[in-house]
Amino acid sequence: MATVFMPTMLQVITQGVKQVEIPAANVRQVVDRLQELYLGVKARLVEGGQIRPDLAMAFETAGEVARMGLLEKSGEAHFVPAIGGGRDHAPGLFARLLSPVACLR
């Protein structure tokens, strides 16, 4: 079970709901379950089969960020702005850490 904290950009679609509990254990399941509950949410989160480049997703389980984007029995899922910048405008820190898991293909 995942407690998903909705970023402000999604609260228009969720009609102000700030968090929701859903049965999900990975990135794909979180996005799919949110789409079932709130039509149109996937288009705001996913681009080209992956989490949008300006977003990152972090899972917290047992007080630690899950590096592989998987929840054990329960935890929290957060959509956060990707941190970017630098000389070559490299992908944000979270995007680099989570990129292997962000694939939704």
In the chain, domain spans: 2-102
Exposure string for 37-64, b = 16+ CB within 10 A, e = fewer:
ebeebeebbbeeebbbeebbbbbbbeee
CATH class name, domain 2-102: alpha beta
Least Cα distance to 27 among 81, 64, 54, 66 occurs for 66
pLDDT tens for each residue of the chain, 105 residues long: 889 999 888 899 999 999 999 998 888 888 999 999 999 999 999 999 888 888 888 777 666 665 555 556 677 888 888 776 555 544 544 444 444 444 444
Q: Are 14 and 41 in contact (CB under 8 A)?
A: yes
Selection from 50, 40, 42, 60 nearest residue 91 by Cα = 50
